[in-house]
Amino acid sequence: MKRVLVIGSGGSGKTTFSKKLAEQTGLPLYHLDALYWKPGWKEPEKAEWRANMDALARRDEWIIDGNYSGTFDLRMPHADLIVFFDIPAYRCIWNILKRRLQYARFTRPDMAPGCPETIGFGFLIWVWQYPKKNKPKVLEAIRNLKAAHAKVLIFNSYKAMDVFLASTTLPSF
């Protein structure tokens, strides 16, 4: 296992899992929110973003934490393991609200500098609708874009995540 893609709704636990997995494996961890956003919540040019993701996906080792489905086609074919967090929307919203309080007026460690924690109504709607609107698209992308050798894990509870992380030897693919 050298390339792990961690995806799921906002607030689903991707970053928490990714940090723990990186500590356990020694694989380099890349938070897409930190790579995508520029100070002041400015977006990069699409071509620049895709070129950066293509270069990242071609590296020998990584854990990539984040959705950005517009670059699934660049990342999924290189992954050895795809971890999809299929957590209920109400729990994701709760996690987002807790995170907002924890990092009020500060920038999260997994976020780009100059992008303090905020919660927009549109983001909360996106998270609430994720199971019906985005989950089917993500599962289709996994079916169509994943590498033939890639393993897919779907966590629908934090217990499943903990069991995986507590395993004495992580699977190698």
- What 3 state SS string does 48-87 have? HHHHHHHHHHCCCCEEEECCCHHHHHHHHHHCCEEEEECC
- Read off the pLDDT of residues 90-101 as tens digits, 9 standing for 90 and up: 999 998 888 777
Classify residue 136: in a domain, yes or no.
yes
Q: What is the CATH classification number for the domain harbouring 32? A: 3.40.50.300
Strands of the 81-85 sheet, one edge to the other: 29-31, 62-65, 3-8, 81-85, 151-155
- Structural domain including 49 reads 3-166
**Rounded distance between C-alpha atoms, residue 136 and residue 155, angstroms:** 15
- Read off the pLDDT of residues 9-33 as tens digits, 9 standing for 90 and up: 998 999 999 999 999 999 999 999 8
Classify residue 60: in a domain, yes or no.
yes
pLDDT at 168 over 60: no
Classify residue 172: in a domain, yes or no.
no
Output 125 or 40, whichever has higher pLDDT.
125
Least confident of 55-64, 78-87, 144-153: 144-153
Q: Please measure the distance between the N-terminal and C-terminal CA atoms of the chain and give it in whole angstroms.
A: 5
Classify residue 118: in a domain, yes or no.
yes
Classify residue 90: in a domain, yes or no.
yes
Q: What is the pLDDT of residue 106?
A: 63
pLDDT at 116 over 50: yes
Q: What is the pLDDT of residue 167?
A: 83
CB 1 within 8 A of CB 172: yes
Least confident of 11-25, 135-149, 158-172: 158-172
Q: What is the pLDDT of residue 122?
A: 86
**Number of domains making up the chain:** 1
- The whole-chain average pLDDT of the chain stands at 89
Classify residue 76: in a domain, yes or no.
yes
Q: What is the pLDDT of residue 107?
A: 64
pTM score, two decimals? 0.88
